[in-house]
Amino acid sequence: AMEKSRPLWDNPLQFVFACISYAVGLGNVWRFPYLCQMYGGGGFLIPYFIMLIAEGMPLLYLELAVGQRMRQGSIGAWKIISPYLCGVGVASVIVSFFLSMYYNVINAWAFWYLFHSFQDPLPWATCPLNSNRTGYEEECEKTSSTPVSSREAKGAQGASPAPPVHWKQGCPAGEELIYYGQSCAFFTPRYFPSFLQVVYVTASLPYCVLIIYLIRGLTLHGAVNGLVYMFTPKLEQLSNPKTWISAATQIFFSLGLGFGSLIAFASYNEPSNNCERHAVIVSLINSTTSIFASIVTFSIYGFKATFNYESCINKVILLLMNAFDLEEGSLTADNLNEMKDYLMATHPQEYTQLLPQLKNCSLEAELDTAVQGTGLAFIVYSEAIKNMEVPQLYSVLYFVMLLMLGIGSMLGNTAAILTPLTDSRVIAAHFPKEVISGAVCFINCMIGLIFTMEAGNYWFDIFNDYAATLSLLLIVLVETIAVCYIYGIRRFEKDLHTMIGRKPNWYWKIMWAFASPLLIISLFIFYLTDYILTGTLQYQAWDATQGQLVTKDYPGYALAVIGLLVAASTMCIPLGALVTFVRKRLKRESVSTV
């Protein structure tokens, strides 16, 4: 029997845009540049592209093909392949649910910064005043870099051990409401694909902003320092297993495999759509964007480092000029070292007294301070922006871009949750689609409020580090094995032949059957041993007295939450198989007793 006609994309281009909008997310902007910095600059591109070929493309193709062939969301699709796999789809939905809970907070932060970008001067350009308005807040004065990092650690993510709702930062709570409202509106799933006209904007706008930033970034003073620093290959890092692990993990998470979003998107395709070509296009565009975003990030990073370095030198010059009554212009950045030696020789006593105040300025050290995650996205950029001319314009542009990246990925995520739910006969029989989307968004919003509390930033880190990592690896591993060995690679080949008009060549088959599963297994083993060997899980806490981050062990209840997050999704897979098995046994017995 023909199923109810399934809504379709307006054209293949819209589908590609949706996939790009989903795959190109915040990770491209803030995670990839950090990995380049950590693991050997330009040399990191070697393992990165090898991993793209060995697992990125094949697994993306696999998910798109499964969605397009089964024309179902993740739960239904894996059920068709084998009833024992019903847990895989459920696991995907749960992981997507966890992700959408905390992902919106990043969007809320972006909103917060966006709203505050229309001021002059920008509110994070200077330290806030202390309570009696005589000077600046001491905690802010203490932070090594600038007001932004303290404001960041406190303001938009005010993190302290106590958990009252923090409305200075709880402003996101209001914005999250707006935000969930939007995602519900997009997903009145009755008209799902046509509603996604939005993807044209969310996919293309970030590129416009990146191009503007590239032109601006490359003309900044000191940008070259950052680019040289990024692209100089440090090939000794290639012998470090962590480099390969990071490359594999980055490709894996950056393409958004295992969440069920790609399956959901592909299920709205025409059955004859060429998903092989689309898989290659999307994965290449995704990787190119990462490199493009790195160039932008590092030109800005170089500008910031050069700015800090030069202001450090100027402080030293000023100090020496005042201490030794030197005439204007006699001391410059170029002859600073010679003058230091000269002063040391002529006025040893006064010079020795000054020594504790003389900072050692080094450009290398400024460039070496690696920042990732929200730190890179919100701190480094905000700090660089406030030193540009017309900082408001660049600030607004930047946070609009972050919002677009965030919203695009959220659309995919919401699709991963709603498509399987609305496809399920049981649920769809009882509730209209609008009610389902409304309920999902509402529950998400309520739980999302946790992340706007005082300790919200720590919860955010827990979700970010543990909610998806191991579970996704396991989900995708089971998916690949299911297609190759349970469904059968021959049968899958025939399906692809009917859909695309040609069989997949040997490259895809070798990757699906051997390379990709082996890669995932080795990643999985690495993560497990890594967790076991480190013994305790640790996190970075903000210490207000020192004005810097310190490393602490997670308390017991946090470990319990981490355990629950990992178990909630991974346990679905064996449980689903077990439930199916028991059901079949019961059916058989009831048949035999009759």
Q: Is 409 annotated as a binding residue?
A: yes
- Could you tell me the two tokens for 497? 């032949």
Check the CA dihedral 246-262-566-379 and report its sign: positive
Q: Is 24 annotated as a binding residue?
A: yes
Q: Give the three-class secondary structure for 133.
A: coil
From 549, 219, 225, 237, select the one nearest 367 (Cα to Cα).
225
Q: Position of tokens 């689309």? A: 278
Q: Which residues contact 106 (CB under 8 A, 6 or more apart)?
A: 26, 374, 402, 406
From 441, 442, 421, 419, select the one nearest 431 (Cα to Cα).
421
> Helices 275-324 and 198-218: crossing angle, nearest 10°?
40
Rounded to whole angstroms, the Cα distance separating 568 from 570 reads 6
- Could you tell me the two tokens for 219? 């003309």
CA distances (Å), origin 175, targets 200, 314, 375: 23, 42, 21
Query: Torsions phi, psi of 542, nearest 5?
Result: -85, 125
Q: Which residues contact 306 (CB under 8 A, 6 or more apart)?
A: 221, 222, 225, 363, 366
Beta strands 538-543 and 548-553 are antiparallel
Residue pair 373/30 in contact by the 8 Å Cβ criterion: yes
The residue count for the chain: 594
Rounded to whole angstroms, the Cα distance separating 513 from 108 reads 42
Rounded to whole angstroms, the Cα distance separating 20 from 90 reads 24
Q: Which residues contact 84 (CB under 8 A, 6 or more apart)?
A: 576, 577, 580, 581
Q: Which residues contact 243 (CB under 8 A, 6 or more apart)?
A: 39, 40, 44, 47, 237
Rounded to whole angstroms, the Cα distance separating 590 from 124 reads 70
Rounded to whole angstroms, the Cα distance separating 584 from 576 reads 12
Q: Which residues contact 523 (CB under 8 A, 6 or more apart)?
A: 245, 248, 249, 252, 473
From 289, 377, 293, 424, select the one nearest 19 (Cα to Cα).
289
Rounded to whole angstroms, the Cα distance separating 57 from 201 reads 25
From 259, 196, 262, 193, select the one nearest 19 (Cα to Cα).
262
- Could you tell me the two tokens for 178? 């707006």
Residue pair 228/24 in contact by the 8 Å Cβ criterion: no
Q: Is 23 annotated as a binding residue?
A: yes
Q: How many CB atoms lie within 10 A of CB 211?
A: 12
Type and span of the H or E element at 162? none
Q: Give the three-class secondary structure for 344.
A: helix
Binding residues for Na(+): 23-24, 28, 254, 286, 405, 409
Instruction: List the binding residues.
Output: 23-24, 28, 254, 286, 405, 409
